[in-house]
Amino acid sequence: MIDYKVKNILPTSTFLIKELGVQVSPAETVSLTQYSWPVLSNAQTIKDGLNTSNLLFFVDNILLSTSDAITYLTSTTAGGSGEINTASNVGGGTEVFKQKVAKDLEFKTFVGGTNITLSATVDEITINSSAASGDLLAANNLTDVANAATSLSNLGGETAFSKNTAFNKNFGVTSGTVLEGDKNAAIVLNTAKVTNATHTGEVTGSGALTVGSTAISNKSLITAASGMEALVNDAGTLKKVNVSDFLGGGGSETFTLQRIETINNATATDLEYFTFVQNGTQISNSITVTGGDYLYEINFICLNTSSSGRVVVSTDIDGSAVFSQSYKKQPNHSSERFYVSLRKKITLAAGSRVIKIKLTNEGSGTARIFEANIIITKV
């Protein structure tokens, strides 16, 4: 079924289609599909509205021009069985159909490009190429590819020559060959070269070469770390080892801080420097590590002499806090003691690291920590 519609383009007035008894408000579009074709085609009011440019007429949502719409309504063959046709392109190639204007289907035309001609008959269009098969070869100076010498010359190549088995000489020990004379025997005996240029510096000699001690002593001194490698002499054979095998008795690193005496802080910050014990030897608060991942543990007992005061304890390595927040504790009553144990996995760069602990008192009373222990172990 064909869908017929009219649109009132009057800005303020209602349009009356008196034959149908239909009122169309300003700017309103009304479907007339329910009316038979004889009734619709005989509605002179629609034609008058089209002639006075008060109405627009649509067939299957396609707007017809005034002349096409009046011709359509006047036709005795339109009827309810007709349809509005259009065309479309299929596939992914260049499109041929352009558009439909009223009842006219418009298609694009063909234009021949370089070396392309078009010829048409009643039913067919022929596309011809005027490029000769040799044009591509001529453009590239290869017109005589069948002639090997000419083709090679055109390509800028050299004339072929008769090549021997090596260095344009044949292998052999006779005159004119690669190993003529006694060179073959010298190569077999490896005596053709018995001396080298005289070397000086870390490697010396002109025959047998010697590596001097400066090959080591001239190098920069660094702190050995796991992952570094060294040369060792294993019964006359040089082999490599990981230096971690020589660090701390097999690679273990443990630094232990022990502080027995009490640390007091009444009002201000107290930075404490501890004496560490590593493998039974006392060292300062500056320790030397090989670098990598370590487990940092701190244990201590703390109190505040006033229930209105608060103990604040923080630790840092090289000025950077170990924990994201300081430990803070306010007692329920004066001199209430707390045992604290904190641990965290940290990463330290190789070299000397400075360990500090800071005690702060907040509020009244005196903050105290005692029996403090810090253990730093490589993992």
Buried b or exposed e, range 241-277, using 16+ CB within 10 angstroms: eeebeebeeeeebebebebeeebebeeeebeeebebe
Sign of the torsion formed by the C-alpha atoms of 235, 241, 243 and 248: negative
What does the domain layout of the chain look like in residue ranges? 1-85+95-130, 212-242, 253-378
* Helix H or strand E segment including 56: strand 55-59
CATH topology of domain 253-378: Jelly Rolls (2.60.120)
CB 29 within 8 A of CB 3: no
Grouping H, G, I as helix, E, B as strand and the rest as coil, residue 114 is coil
Average pLDDT score over the chain: 79
Residue listed under structure tokens 């001194």: 221
Of 221-235, 338-352, 353-367, least confident by mean pLDDT is 221-235
Structure confidence by residue, pLDDT tens digits, 68-88: 999 888 875 554 445 556 788
Give whichever of 166-175, 245-254, 264-273, 346-355 has the largest mean pLDDT.
Answer: 346-355
Q: How far is CA 339 from CA 111, 298, 300, 342, 369, in A?
A: 95, 11, 6, 10, 10
- CA atoms of 163 and 311, how far apart (whole Å): 93
- CA atoms of 7 and 25, how far apart (whole Å): 9
Which band of pLDDT confidence, cut at 50, 70 and 90, is reported for residue 153? low
DSSP alpha helix (H) spans, 93-202: 135-139, 148-154, 183-189
Give whichever of 30-39, 89-98, 361-370 has the largest mean pLDDT.
Answer: 30-39
